[in-house]
Amino acid sequence: MRSSLEGANCADLPAFVVDKYFDCNTRLEPFRAKVAKAICENCVVLVDCVDQTLVMPRLPARGIIAGMSIPEIERARSWLSYEHGIRDRVPPFDRPEWLPLSEASNTVEQWRTEQDPDEPRPQM
Ligand code: SF4
């Protein structure tokens, strides 16, 4: 998937390169995914691309966007949904370390650290 952000690394690539590396099957073609992630890593609009990707209404079925595979994007979105009160339960996987903390994230993190570890967590 090619980004429309100005200055995006992927915007200047030939279509066949985008198809081959960015639209790859990340599970079956890990090398291609790695190449796409390396291109994203050095992209000057990576931060904006991550922001846009995390709120995209529809994700493609496969590929790399903003340096993330679709499952990685879905995990990050699950955490954001939880932290913004859209999702009720804590996601059953660790919060991605790279995911920026928002005001809502900070509130949830503060609540989590204040909890007595022996007390059962209330279901929201
Ligand atoms: S971070 Fe990756 S997907 Fe996003 S604009 Fe840059 S090269 Fe394209």
**Per-residue model confidence as pLDDT tens digits over 25-37:** 999 999 999 999 9
Q: What is the pLDDT of residues 73-116, one digit of tens each?
A: 999 999 999 988 889 999 999 998 888 777 777 777 677 677 66
Per the prediction, the chain carries an average pLDDT of 87
Please name the helix (run of DSSP H) or strand (run of DSSP E) that holds residue 64, with its range, or none. strand 64-65
CA–CA distance, 21 with 110 (Å, rounded to integer)? 40
CB of 43 within 8 A of CB of 50? no
- pTM for the full model? 0.80
| 10 DSSP 8-state letter | G
CA–CA distance, 66 with 53 (Å, rounded to integer)? 7
Structural domain spans, the chain: 9-95
- Which amino acids bring their CB within 6 angstroms of ligand 1? 3, 5, 8-10, 39-40, 43, 45-46, 49, 65-67
What is the CA(123)–ligand 1 centre distance, in A?
Answer: 37
Quick one: which atom of ligand 1 is closest to the CA of 53? 4
Quick one: which atom of ligand 1 is closest to the CA of 8? 5
CA–CA distance, 115 with 76 (Å, rounded to integer)? 23
